[in-house]
Structure 1
């Protein structure tokens, strides 16, 4: 019997050895939603970052007011896990911004964030934008910049001033069970923005916002999106592209088992009509349901949201895009719209088993400078 207890003690020690726990309350947090807890969080992060062991940073129940804060690396700790049981709350002062981010993690290899709520308090900023006032740059709620091996589980982001979650030049990112909430008329509140990042998995997300549910920017590759509901919002967009001449491309993107509810777009690829060395290729959309979507399937190489766009030939090359098992309803008669540029037509576009209707009637497909094929049963009839 004694040997059994000794073995249990040894096993317990093995599980706790090489790990450390830090509670933010140790550093003087008030957690009343009114007092500034930024300094305490910064101190707690530095303690975790400087640890030689894997570290868990615990944020208990409470409301923590944080001003723009950077959680920087590189860290000695091989992995930092943040367990959030409380609510992190931004200031309503729209002038309290750093470089366009509220909470920023950068230069970190090995990070996990579990649970919690981020409240960006975006309404005053949205009102400023609506009034065409002299507004500051606005803050993205959560930025992951130059990071590797990051996992987020069951995090809720609400009312961000601008983008909710931004992945910037990062690799090996896994987002699971993310919930995003903002009004459908809140400007520039993209749900998850992926920019120049790779090996990214977004799974089991529920996104309601005022801009793209997921936006995919130049330099992104090997992105997998699955089991996402979107709406209200502007859909899942690759682009906008062609911001610069030497722009990296977007490739190897899969969007699977996604449902859109009342969005302005469904599956969208958009680029300005200007010179660029950028490209889009190897894109797969599979198993998508459209419920009253304004533009279910759209490629727009002449994107011009505000007018006064350059009247040039598009340099973006779009090829190898597959749409399969797409069903549902469109609120516009043209449910499939490939508006490509004569200088760089869209090539190898494929429709497979697509069934889209317009108010219970037949919808239409429109193709301009688009080449490809249709297989299986495609409704509306393919224009490729």
Structure 2
């Protein structure tokens, strides 16, 4: 466990020492999954505006139907809030019943909020069907979102069947996400498991993630991320990117991804940038102790991302990728080329290290392909030739 993880484990358990507990059922919440309990939840949580002490909210067993909930920390005087959930929160199955404002349950500008246990079910199947039929559908909402917040903890939580992203961490500092489950079918579009952007000091640990998109996606403006003990599949793997859409964009640095297993995913560990001019960067990244099982693209850098050749044809990516290490990565590739480093023609990758990478394809050794990539490699001969 990282030092950051140990610190937050003890810090937030100490924060639970309080006798003030508010049960949502005492505010009228119904546990039959049919009666709208949104007002009851908002009334219960609204009590934080009246107290400076640490508060507990409790959701008993049962199913609670709720529409959009927005919690703004600027109106709250409490110095710590813990939400304990034994039940299941259900979004309406009709996607038109939720305001399409980006988030189903949203926390903004909060400090020291902890969520323990419970199931958040976005019931996104009807929207997925709409999108898969290529109709004119709304974008959808993220199930659980944190914006511009500090000292956040999520532990033992299940988030499933979101219309879009399952968990979003945006503009946050010091967040611990541990022991969570993120679940949606492999054919559910745009359902990233956990998306992090413009944040620092985020740890994601000991979690199972299976979705129709990236298990974990890392957007621009991130630093000091620690990802460990993840089981990923189905999904598109763990991705840094897409980066470089904007010409002026914050970079990504100091990222550790270790002790991860990928099972039948589209990608394993990926760095993806648009083939457009940009001042962005990716540096100081470690991918370590990783097992691939029937993964289509186990190790991939794609700096020529340009769907349908629109908005970026024949342009080189301006994102500078440097000092990326792949260490102790083993297992099986579903394609012959298991290591594909397709770097920018205008900003070649530098400082790439491939050490103890051993990937097989069918009954033989997998292949490697490197374009505009510099660094060093040890292991099978194809890697040494690649760099």
TM norm. shorter chain > 0.5:
yes
Higher Rg of the two aligned structures: 1
Deviation at 1:378, TM superposition (A): 3.9
Q: Is the 8 A contact 2:352 2:374 kept in 1?
A: yes
Kindly indicate whether the alpha-carbon contact (under 8 Å) linking 1:267 and 1:298 is maintained by their aligned counterparts in 2.
yes
Map of 2:340 onto structure 1: 337
Task: Please name the residue that 2:9 is paired with.
Answer: none
Q: Deviations over 1:179-203 (max 9, x none)?
A: 0111111100000000111100000
Structure 1 segment 69-108 matched on structure 2, within 5 A: 69-74=69-74, 75-95=76-96, 96-108=98-110
The equivalent of 2:244 in structure 1 is 242
**Of 174-183 and 128-137, the range deviating more from structure 2:** 128-137
Aligned length: 369
- On the 8 A contact 2:298/2:339 being kept in 1, the answer is yes
The alpha-carbon distance between structure 1 residues 250 and 35, as it changes in their structure 2 partners (threshold 3 A), is: same
In 1, Cα distance between equivalents of 2:232 and 2:79: 35
Contact 1:262–1:293 (CA under 8 A) maintained in structure 2: yes
Contact 1:64 1:88 survives alignment (8 Å): yes
Q: Deviations over 1:348-381 (max 9, x none)?
A: 0000111001112121110100000013x24643
In the other structure, the counterpart of 1:208 is: 210
1:99 deviates by: 1.1
Structure-2 residue corresponding to 1:161: 163
Aligned to 2:266: 264
| Rounded Cα–Cα distance in structure 2 between residues aligned with 1:16 and 1:89 | 26
The 2-side partners of 1:293 and 1:172 are apart by: 32
Could you tell me how far 1:136 is from its partner in structure 2? 1.2
Q: TM (normalized to structure 2)?
A: 0.93
Aligned partner (choices 305, 308, 322) of residue 307 of structure 2: 305
The 3 A distance-change label for structure 1 pair 306 and 230 is farther
- Answer with 221-230 or 90-99: which moved more: 90-99
Say if 1:378 and 1:286 are closer, same or farther in 2 by CA, change over 3 A: farther
Q: Which residue of 1 aligns with 2:177?
A: 175
What whole-Å deviation, never above 9, does each CA across 1:42-71 have from its counterpart, x for those lacking one?
A: 111110343211011001111111101101
CA RMSD of aligned residues (A): 1.4
Aligned twin of 1:11: none
- The partner residue of 1:365 within 365, 368, 371 is 368
How many angstroms does 1:18 deviate by? 5.7
Q: Which runs of 5+ in 1 are unaligned?
A: 1-14
Match of 1:355 in 2: 358
CA distance in 1, matches of 2:222, 2:239: 12
Give the equivalent residue in structure 1 for 2:8: none
CA distance in 2, matches of 1:236, 1:349: 18
SS in 2 for 1:381: helix
Q: Conserved in 2, the CA contact under 8 Å of 1:355 and 1:380?
A: no
> For residue 66 of structure 1, what is the aligned residue in structure 2?
66
Structure 2 stretches of 5 or more lacking a match?
A: 1-14
CA distance in 1 between partners of 2:99 and 2:181 (Å):
24
Counterpart secondary structure, 2:262: strand
d(CA) in 2 for partners of 1:264, 1:98:
29
Instruction: Give deviations 1:191-236, integer Å, cap 9, x for gaps.
Output: 0000111100000010111000000000011100000000010000
- Spell out, residue by residue over 1:256-308, the C-alpha distance to the aligned partner (whole angstroms, 9 max, x if none): 00000000000000011101111000000000000000000000000123442
Displacement of 1:123 in angstroms is 0.4
How far apart are 1:19 and its partner, in Å? Answer: 4.5
Could you tell me whether the CA contact under 8 Å between 1:113 and 1:152 is conserved in 2?
yes
2:186 and 2:234 in contact (8 A); partners too = yes
SS at match of 2:79: coil
- Comparing 49-58 with 107-116, greater Cα deviation is found at 49-58
